[in-house]
Structures are given as C-alpha cells and as structure tokens.
Structure 1
C-alpha cells in the first residue's frame, strides 16, 4: 500500500471543512458482509437449508428465485432480514467514524443493510435506495412504510421444516390487501415521502457547504449503479471551486482527467486503507 496515498487521504480529511461520504456495497463487502454475492461462511451458516432446498449459492440468488408461494418467499426474506439486521457493522465502519467524528460530515449510502445506523444517528445518514427496517405495500397503494424488524422477527421464528411461514403471517397492506414488499429498490420501490426526505438531507448538506472546502469521499461504488453516488460526486467536484474527490475501490476506482488536480483514486482494499489511515492519524 502506498504510504503517500494514505498521507494524502488523511491530509484531505484534516483540511476539509465538510465531508460528504458516498458508500455503496463495496463498503459492506470490505466489512466482511459478502454473502450477498458469495457462498461465504455466513451463507453456509445461515442459509444452508435454503441452498439445499432451492439450489442457490448466495443471498442474491434467493431474492430472484421463483418461489411457489408467498409463504416460501417471505420465509426466506424474513430470515434474510433478521440476518442483516442482527449483523455487526464491521471494523471499516468504525474506522471511518474514527476518521470523521471530529469533522462536519454526512453519509449518503445506497446500502440498505442499516450498518451505518449502528454507529450514526439518523440525521447523519441518507439511505436513498431504501432501508431493510421497513416494508411497504407491494402495489403500492399508499405512501406509507411499516416496521419490518419485529414483523420479520416473528416470521423468522415461525418458519417450519418446509421453510414456509403460516399463511396468516404473510404481510399484507392494511389498506388494499396486497402482499407487502421490503422497502428497497429491486422490488416495486416506493419513491414517496421518506424517499424524498432522504435525498433532501444530503442535497441540503451540499448546499450548506458548497462555498467551503468540501471533500467528496466515495467508498465501494461499483459499475452497476454509478448514477446514485459517483456521477453526482464527480459533477459536484468539477463545479464547486474548493471541492476535492477521493475514490477508494480495489477494482473500480477511477479519476477523470478533468479532475486530475482535484481528486485521487486509491486502488486498494477499503478496509485496509481505513485501518492504515486511522493508524497514521493516531501517530500524528
């Protein structure tokens, strides 16, 4: 790992008046949450019965499997929700907080796994792709969200030997009777009041600090959805005079030539970069 890159990274954090973090799936992957894509030890421990019954080898396979009933589908989703909600955030999240805790900062994330909520208050986070703590009408017929945590906890406890839940536990909208869905993009995602407020939070942060030295710190954005974090960050950095952009990603870090004097791309493991930055900062 290039020591000079870490020094520059820490320097930019220290000198910034405000920091907007943009974190995507690579951040949680760096923290060890890889069962979404891989047959890792978490998948083997928590989903082996589902693998045996349905033949999928990561939890993303489970999202798209064609179940025969809502009893089966919601059994998987309830169990998955409980695994996510009860998983620890992981050291990279704590290292990031150590680096930022004395700064003015805000976190924009496309992650739905609520890892940041274990460390930060709601007013510091904008979850613009949904949040695993909520469910919505699957139609949707209304602009309402309901608590998913207790709902899925009850369902998870009632999954039987056939990996099904009782019919009366299949969650349904109290207004129209449609089966509920997680409030996450990938289903019939409700872009209602809560969604708009999440966007307003991070956009207001940029407006408030656009005349200051603002750092746009991108962590783990892949090539599937660059439009939610990466493209706005690049545009803001280009147009805001005192802005600086840092992209940390072992595979997909990039820096356009137009920003060669206003940014840096670190092609390293996010967890290792944050760990080394904390060490360096502590030794200053």
Structure 2
C-alpha cells in the first residue's frame, strides 16, 4: 500500500473513531523543536556549558558529577528554554485540532507541558514522568509539590548568566517543609512523588473502561526504547486487548511493533511533523 493510500486510510479511521488515545514520547517534542541531541541549538542556548565541554542537553540528563551550584545553574537555563520559553507550538496545536472534537486522552513521557500549553484539557492528560513546572523535596518529606517558578526567580540574584551557574548557596532551592535539597518534579529515582499523578491515572483507567469496546484509534507519536514501559509497550498491549482498537505508530527510527498485531497497526517511519501535516492537509 502506498503512503498516500495509508494516509487516506488513517484519515478515515480517525473520522470513524469513537475515541483517540495519544501516546507521546520524546520524538514528538523533538519534532516540535525541542531536540536534546541538537548540538547547534545547545551552543546557542547553553554557551556556558559548551565552555565546560558539553555539546548537547542529552549529556546532562541524569549527570551526577556536578555541585548543587552547577546543577541549578544549568537547570535554571534549561527550564527557561525548555519549559518557560516554549508556549504556543504549531505542531501541538495542529495535533489538538485533530482530536479536539473527539473523546480523546493523552499519556506522555514528556515533562515539558506542551500538551496543556496548547489547548489539551489537563483532566485528559496522564504524565507519569512528571512536570517541569513543579518542584519537590528529594527526601521526600511529604507528598507535596510546588510551582517551580518562584524558586527559579529566587535564584536570579545569584545566577551568572555567562557561566550559567549559581554563585551562592543562597540560590539553591531548599524544601519549605524540612530544608532538604529539592529537584524538578521529574522521575529520576525512587524519590519521585507518584501520588501527584494518581488522579491522572484514575482518569485514564475510567476513560479506557468507557471505551473498552468502542472504535479507538491509538496514535503513538515518537515513543522509543529509553523508557518503553511508559508509552511504547502499553500502546501495543492496549491495541492487542481492545477488540476495536487500531494503532498508528509514527517514528523516525523504530516504527516496528513487538507484538503480533500487524492487522491492527499502521506503521510510519517518518517525521511526526510531516505526518501531522499530511493528515491535516
């Protein structure tokens, strides 16, 4: 079947679907312009860290060899770019236009907030890996999370914009409850506060139960193998178990499926931005 015919088939399935489940991975954010492997953009946004020998944001994900002053200096720049600097995004807005009149739900491993910044209803989002807009205690001493913006603002007097590090420990975020270190509310280890997302999970389960026998189109956009149990494999399992489900997987590198569901899957090895453009043409 030609690509044109495949696209027509997906457009028909979308039109006929009772519900749409979007499963989004890092590939979607990359297609939207936030690519953690983009060395040119890294050099533009993080010149202080280029001087330290780094060439891409990906190298600093989970990086253990820095002080709190260095870590929070980097994350202040990182969040100002990735979270606060990214608001209305054309790709996410086109995706929203595709599903806004459907009974949709989104589960995503992305923590950049681009879904809710571009029209998607927060009550229809499941974000088990966290949210860059929040911060938490690393102990944690409670199940509480806070908005991160005031903590970043408090760093400003102690932030060297040339070196992109903090210059004084007074700028380091401390837990308002116990005084311990804090970190972005993003899953990196066992300190992550899962309870923050329990309501989202219940909403997803309610939605899935409601649509168990309906015509459901599953759009798997950019989920890879860094954390396959979060989006990629659940999307395949749901396709297999829901009798009237059809999976559409769009991925530049890994468009294959691991389960025996070829009759229930349409696979596109292409850029997500191009795919959405063709689907909305």
TM-score by length of structure 1 reads 0.90
Mapped to 2, the partners of 1:157 and 1:209 lie a distance apart of 52
Deviation of the 1:224 alpha carbon: 1.6
Runs of 4+ deviating beyond 4 Å? none
**Residues 74-93 of structure 1 aligned to structure 2 (within 5 Å):** 74-85=72-83, 86-93=85-92
**1:189 to 1:12, Cα distance in 2 relative to 1, 3 A:** farther
- In structure 1, runs of 5+ residues without a counterpart are 280-284
CA contact (8 A) 1:136 1:180 kept: yes
**Residues 210-229 of structure 1 aligned to structure 2 (within 5 Å):** 210-229=212-231
Q: CA RMSD in A?
A: 1.9
Cross-structure match for 2:127 = 127
For 1:50-107, what per-residue CA distance to the aligned partner results, in whole angstroms no more than 9, with x for missing partners?
211x211111223344455312211111221111121245322122112112111011
| SS class of match (1:258) | coil
Cross-structure match for 2:242 = 240
| SS class of match (2:150) | helix
**1:17 to 1:178, Cα distance in 2 relative to 1, 3 A:** same
For 1:16-65, what per-residue CA distance to the aligned partner results, in whole angstroms no more than 9, with x for missing partners?
1001100010000111111x222132x1221011211x211111223344
Mapped to 2, the partners of 1:224 and 1:274 lie a distance apart of 24
**1:19 to 1:171, Cα distance in 2 relative to 1, 3 A:** same
- In structure 2, runs of 5+ residues without a counterpart are none
CA contact (8 A) 1:134 1:183 kept: yes
Matched, 1:115 2:114: yes
Mapped to 2, the partners of 1:258 and 1:62 lie a distance apart of 37
| SS class of match (2:34) | coil
Mapped to 2, the partners of 1:258 and 1:167 lie a distance apart of 54
The count of residues paired between Structure 1 and Structure 2 equals 276
Cross-structure match for 1:167 = 169
| SS class of match (1:40) | helix
Mapped to 1, the partners of 2:220 and 2:139 lie a distance apart of 34
CA contact (8 A) 2:34 2:82 kept: no
**Residues 172-183 of structure 1 aligned to structure 2 (within 5 Å):** 172-183=174-185
**1:46 to 1:211, Cα distance in 2 relative to 1, 3 A:** same
